[in-house]
Amino acid sequence: MLTGRWDVDADFEVIQDALYRHLVVVIKGQKDLEPENQLALNRRFDPGATSYGHSNNSQRRQGSILSNRDGITIPSVPQVQVLGEGPLDTSARSWYKGLEGVVMRHPTHQLFHRHHLSVAELAEAKTRFYRWHIDAALYGINPPIVTTLLGISNPKGEPQTVVYDDGTGGSLGISRGATAFASGAEALRALPEDLRQIALHSSVVYAPHPYTFISDAKAHSTGLVCLSEGLEKPLEELPEWDESKLLTLPMVWTNPVTGEKSLQIHGACVWKLLVRKNDTEEPTVVDSLSEVRDLVYKLMRPGIDPPRVYAHTWEDGDLAIFYNRGVWHSVTGQDFGPRLMHQCNLASPIPIS
């Protein structure tokens, strides 16, 4: 965590090194960071990247976290999104011009999970992980390397408790509206040897237009995967798609600075798996969604055990920078109250390795 004055030119290498080693870096006191400068910071990490990590509005509007419900593009810097809760005060900053009348809605588990917390549980300040994910379109373009998330104003109020409701009794105390992070490297280390070998040698095929594909599906109580209830959109009802744009990514990605291996799966958007246990065997194609999700859940669940989750408590002006190819993250919380954040990530020209 960095505090005080910083200079993107003088301090960049320190920040970049810290990011690759620690995965999440928070710089305090950045409330006035302008969208253009936030974009410039993202580009420092990935100079060849130009466009937003979710490529286009139409895809985002069909079910990703950044649906039109909660993600709004800044007109003058379309790579930066406004997230939050409540009406956007467009008189506050010149870059909100054109967004008059916008009302932001931050997602909660009720929008995605099959079973919701009861009124009594909500009254006890219980909440869930909304959706564990990597920021990525997962169709046609490479996942962003870095996401920057600026918490301009943040929810205030009593702490809440994430409940896992997965039979383990797992729970995690968090501050209201915390962003949860899990390390993909820790997740890989947490696996028993047989599953670790599968992770190291297998790949995931993501669905065509994955967020549209799952737009009617509902999630498991941990927010790790969708339930297999046959609610995915039939392929013929998806927007036109092209086989060549499907993304097949290894389950394990390598950190280019530390060499550390990290389990990186977007559990909600998986479609098929190419499974093998070692370098020599031919991959088995698993194309039954329920089998795919069962295995992905087994691979991912240890990574979010309560001691392995860092839930960031936001203070106004915090700029969180995270290595999107080495962490998973999730919204948490209920009843946010007013909130305003700026988020930027860029589709990378650099493929996953």
Site residues for Fe ion per CB under 5 A: 135
Q: How far is the CB of 59 from Fe ion (least distance, A)?
A: 15
Please state, in angstroms and rounded to a whole number, the distance separating the CA atoms of residues 253 and 350.
13
Q: Which is closer to Fe ion, CB of 153 or CB of 179? A: 179
Q: How far is the CB of 328 from Fe ion (least distance, A)?
A: 9
DSSP string, 204-218: EEEPSSHHHHTTT--
Between 70 and 135, whose beta carbon lies closer to Fe ion?
Answer: 135
SS3 label, residue 87: strand
**Close Cβ partners of 194 (under 8 Å, ≥ 6 residues apart):** 277
Smaller CB separation from Fe ion, 202 or 212 = 212
Min. distance of Cβ 318 from Fe ion in angstroms? 16
Q: Are 62 and 237 in contact (CB under 8 A)?
A: no
CB of 319 to Fe ion, least distance (A): 15
Q: Of 137 and 274, which CB lies nearer to Fe ion in the complex structure?
A: 137
CB of 35 or CB of 53, closer to Fe ion:
53
Residue of minimal CB distance from Fe ion? 135
In one-letter notation, the amino acid at residue 335 is D
Cα torsion 309, 204, 253, 24: sign: negative
Phi first, then psi, for residue 165 (nearest 5°) are 50, 40
Closer residue to Fe ion in complex, CB, 59/202: 59
Cβ partners under 8 Å of residue 307, min gap 6: none
User: Residue ranges of the alpha helices (H) in 177-247?
Assistant: 184-189, 193-201, 210-213
CB of 192 to Fe ion, least distance (A): 29
